[in-house]
Amino acid sequence: MRVALLEDEAEQVDRISRLLEEAGHLVHAFPRGRALLNTLRTESFDLIILDWEVPGQSGLEVLEVLRARTAPKIPVLFLTHRDSEADVVQALQAGADDFLIKPARDRELLARLDALGRRFSGHAQAQEFIEVAPFRVDLENHRIERDGKPLELTRREFEVAVLLFRNLGQVLSRGHIMEVVWGQPDATTTRTVDMHVSRVRQVLGLSAAIGLRLTAIYGFGYRLERVQEGI
């Protein structure tokens, strides 16, 4: 998953980032809430981890902005030293999806992140196939079929398509696609991303006629979404 981390303590940033990256996640750390909120205007994440007590806007204030307008659907985990029942209740009522008290145990933190990812993506951990009619994505053999017929895609095109199917209905920034598919946000250009997305749209025949549309979001990225025929 691509994870945004709001944390101002360098030691905590290093520890959490190393733990998550060793587990295969991509971590972007922010020392201030404003920096995180500004980034969310142009970038997308699979999950957000918030510390409560950071300079400027508190983690709770950032959460309130997220839920009000910036990222209403992204799962949020609070990771903080605050441990009173009132704090836990306040964070959950404000829209947090889980709450962990520092210092969190490594395996528990990873397990909770994985659980949130499964809950919000709707995918099982040991998933071998993604089925979004009329497509069947074979993750093990790197193959996509439409109505039982295999489609010809390059490895990168397949990875772009998988990312879109995994995030059906969600907006993905170009930076998100670049980092997940190419390994680093600056490993390629936005033009390359656009070309691969265009190719995926063409090969898969994505349109309202089959109930799936791949839409460009100006200045941000793309969204694969279900639509009714004729819309």
pLDDT, tens digit, 9 for 90 and up, residues 185-226? 665 678 889 999 999 999 999 999 999 999 999 889 999 999
Q: Is the domain of 106 the same as that of 145? A: no
Phi and psi, residue 159, nearest 5°: -65, -40
The residue among 121, 152, 168 that closes a domain is 121
Q: Indicate the residue among 121, 156, 185 that finishes a domain.
A: 121
Q: What is the CATH number of the domain that holds 87?
A: 3.40.50.2300
Q: What is the total count of domains within the chain?
A: 2
Domain boundary, last residue among 76, 103, 121: 121
- 182: domain CATH number is 1.10.10.10
- Whether 209 is in a domain gets the answer yes
DSSP class of residue 211 equals: T
pLDDT at 94 over 50: yes
Is 231 among the domain residues? no
Q: Are residues 8 and 112 in the same domain?
A: yes
Same domain (yes/no): 143, 105: no
Residue 228: burial class (beta carbons within 10 Å; 0-12, 13-18, 19+): exposed
Residues 18 and 114 placed together within one structural domain of the fold: yes
> Does residue 91 sit in the same domain as residue 135?
no
Is 200 inside any structural domain? Answer: yes
Query: Do both 145 and 114 map to the same domain?
Result: no
- Host domain of residue 95: 2-121
Q: Are residues 65 and 141 in the same domain?
A: no
Query: Which of the pair, 15 or 187, is modelled with greater confidence?
Result: 15
Check whether residue 137 and residue 32 sit in a common domain.
no
CB 185 within 8 A of CB 178: yes
148 and 68, same structural domain?
no
User: Per-residue pLDDT tens for 145-180?
Assistant: 999 999 999 999 999 999 999 889 888 999 999 988
Let me know: does 26 contact 179? Beta carbons within 8 Å: yes
pLDDT level of residue 69 (50, 70, 90 thresholds): confident
Could you tell me which residues come within 8 angstroms of residue 156 by beta carbon, excluding any fewer than 6 positions away? 181, 182, 196
- pLDDT at residue 112, rounded to an integer: 93
Question: Are 40 and 58 within one domain?
Answer: yes
Q: Check residue 124 and give its pLDDT.
A: 46
Burial of 196 (0-12, 13-18, 19+ CB in 10 A): buried
Residue 70 pLDDT exceeds 80: no
- Whether residue 102 is found in the same domain as residue 135: no
Whether residue 109 is found in the same domain as residue 9: yes
Taking residues 27-43, what's their average pLDDT?
92
